[in-house]
Amino acid sequence: RAARCRVVLARPRAPVPGSKWQELRELSERAPERFWDSVAKERLLWNKPFEQVADCDMRQGKIRWFLGGQLNVSANCLDVHVARAPERVALLWERDEPGSEVKVTYRELLETTCRLANTLKRHGVRKGDRVAIYMPVSPIAVAAMLACARIGAVHTVVFAGFSAEALAGRIEDAQCKAVITCNQGVRGGRTINLKTTVDTAVKSCPSVRNVFVAHRTECKVPMGPLDIFLEEEMAKESTSCPPEPMESEDMLFMLYTSGSTGKPKGIVHTQAGYLLYAALTHQYVFDYHPGDVFGCVADIGWVTGHSYVVYGPLCNGATTVLFESTPVYPNPGRYWETVQRLGINQFYGAPTAIRLLLKYDENWVKKYDRSSLKTLGSVGEPINREAWEWFYHVVGDGKCPLVDTWWQTETGGVCIAPQPAEDGAEILPAMAMRPFFGIQPTLMDEKGKEIRGNDVSGALCISQTWPGMARTIYGDHQRFVDAYFKPYPGHYFTGDGAYRSKEGYYQITGRMDDVINISGHRLGTAEIEDALDEHPDVPETAVVGIPHDVKGEVPFAFVVLKEVGSSSQSQVIEELKSLVAAKIAKYAVPDHFLVVKRLPKTRSGKIMRRILRKVAMGQSSDLGDISTLDDPSVVTEVIQACDHYRSLESKKN
């Protein structure tokens, strides 16, 4: 429900009629096509102007923007700024080792990007080819993304915490021709052998012709027949590479994300619409002004890194921070020491990190000068009230607007967020609040009818297309239509629920499907189940998400075992943990395993996860309707097993 307390901004300003923000808001509501037409012309550099603003039909999942136009994304992110201010700092790479930051100017980033683009071309990467990037946050990783954009190749960045098998699955699905990686990553003082993981992954990926290996550390790694030393090759290449003119609707990148069923899906974003939306939201949601240092601490392996570390800030000519470390390395003051040293103006992070940090002494924040901060932002999962208050009052000293930004891999950029760029805007704690320009949120009831009025909750849809939205799922357009446009025909369904307050502000209430959010990482419970089910002694499993005070949610696995003696149960559980880590990633390993004899099912054989979730959360007295169960005695069994598990757990602690 909407929070009561109103936070008044540090310097409340009277609404200024006719201000730029007001003008844009007014036009975006009155004439959305004209709005997008004018911002696209004003903000992007086109090789060829577009002829038609949009051609969309949400019923068929047909989304096309700026048709007939041609442009190059890397030219918009680099060449445009190099022409005006070549020595402006583009990247501030906050390396894992504190105090060793590296500055990269726009001129340098363009040169590196061109050398990398020429290297890819020399090794046969062509327009339309897919390239996987498995790298830590670093200037070379950003250059790799931009180099793909420059030559018209399609990048798919895979978070460098994913396992070899997860990486291979993505490379296979995308049929990547090349992989760009590093010998090692460095995080929290530890090294991670990325190249070894890539070696394992590419063994099962015949599409890969080359693996380009950059060096983050001195460590020498064995090089095989596909492998190429990236920096050595780049040194041989020219620092100029003409940008390939791309159609607005050519693919720019794909990014794999989890759905409620099936394998991760390759969400496709295209050139012009995505770039425009990332840049516009970057400016207005965070109230970015030229000269600001923008600090988004997300990894480039997620969409937040794509839109607000790389494309949005660079398109706007900003100085963008690349944060390689963790919030607690070498101590819990790391973020704020970085804010002080780099003079960060906008700080954008995840609630899970805030919840972790607020457990430590406030002095870890207070001892650093945070006077550069102007806007704080939160993303990826609901931010609870306590975390919001701490972030706002302790980190921001009650002076900076804190924007809770709601969006998704599929939306390309922020869709609902308070907007401090608006004169006199008010911000309520822990609420995403207001749609961005051109976004039309709608709430739907169970029968698929729109819920009008305020003080209501429903399924969150967006009812008008916008340029930043995903275009398809790679290789499976029907899945795209089924997942997003079928549930409420003519509307984009987000998978989230939302509440619209009395004032008409939106608050996200969480996923309505079997997708969970672990430390801001989105994961389908079905993916974890698939991994567990591969164990020969496990005929059946069900995974649900339960709340966790730091991670937001954690997976809880109910496991049915074949007849094995109780002594080997713990061994099977250890094997199950290893299976999930190997098939997905370490963060996906369930925190809880409960061995049960049977799972509660409906008469048609569907596992009742809703009931399991309640039991796992200790709410077995409030199970709701269980009349559709095939055999209600199963529930009693599961409750007893869970009570026993909990009592053992509490003894352990």
State the residues that interact with ligand PRX by CB under 6 A: 257, 303-304, 379-382, 404-409, 432, 494-496, 508, 511, 517, 522
Give min distance, CB of 382 to ligand PRX, in A. Answer: 4
Give min distance, CB of 607 to ligand PRX, in A. Answer: 22
Nearer to ligand PRX, 177 or 522 (CB): 522
Copy the structure tokens of residue 358: 């607020």
Q: Which residues fall within 8 angstroms of residue 286, CB to CB, at 6 or more apart?
A: 294, 346, 348, 375, 377, 403, 420
Q: Which residues fall within 8 angstroms of residue 525, CB to CB, at 6 or more apart?
A: 260, 514, 515, 516, 542, 543, 544, 545, 555, 609
- State the Cα–Cα distance between residues 559 and 136, nearest whole angstrom: 35
CB 586 within 8 A of CB 161: yes
Nearer to ligand PRX, 271 or 409 (CB): 409
Give min distance, CB of 444 to ligand PRX, in A. Answer: 15
Give min distance, CB of 348 to ligand PRX, in A. Answer: 11
CB 487 within 8 A of CB 497: no
Copy the structure tokens of residue 255: 């990014």
Nearer to ligand PRX, 234 or 303 (CB): 303
Nearer to ligand PRX, 496 or 527 (CB): 496
Give min distance, CB of 276 to ligand PRX, in A. Answer: 18
Give min distance, CB of 406 to ligand PRX, in A. Answer: 4
Q: Is the dihedral of CA 510, 516, 521, 527 positive or negative?
A: negative
Nearer to ligand PRX, 146 or 303 (CB): 303
Give min distance, CB of 440 to ligand PRX, in A. Answer: 17
Nearer to ligand PRX, 71 or 285 (CB): 285
Give min distance, CB of 15 to ligand PRX, in A. Answer: 25
Nearer to ligand PRX, 508 or 616 (CB): 508
Give min distance, CB of 257 to ligand PRX, in A. Answer: 5
Please, what is the end-to-end C-alpha distance for the chain in angstroms? 33
CB 90 within 8 A of CB 105: yes
Nearer to ligand PRX, 264 or 600 (CB): 264
Nearer to ligand PRX, 522 or 609 (CB): 522
- State the Cα–Cα distance between residues 277 and 52, nearest whole angstrom: 17
Give min distance, CB of 172 to ligand PRX, in A. Answer: 21
Nearer to ligand PRX, 108 or 299 (CB): 299
* 477 CB-contact burial (10 Å; exposed 0-12 / middle 13-18 / buried 19+): middle
Q: Which long-range contacts (CB under 8 A, 24 or more apart) does 479-485 make?
A: 479/262, 479/265, 480/61, 480/265, 481/60, 481/61, 483/259, 483/265, 484/61, 484/410, 485/58, 485/59, 485/60, 485/61
- State the Cα–Cα distance between residues 578 and 117, nearest whole angstrom: 38
- State the Cα–Cα distance between residues 584 and 35, nearest whole angstrom: 42
From 146, 191, 219, select the one nearest 324 (Cα to Cα): 191
From 427, 395, 349, 343, select the one nearest 10 (Cα to Cα): 427
Q: Which residue is nearest to ligand PRX (CB)?
A: 409
Nearer to ligand PRX, 241 or 430 (CB): 430
Give min distance, CB of 410 to ligand PRX, in A. Answer: 7
- CB contact burial 91-103 (16+ within 10 A = b; e otherwise): bbbbbbebeebee
What is the number of helices (H) and of strands (E) in the chain? 21, 30
CB 146 within 8 A of CB 113: yes
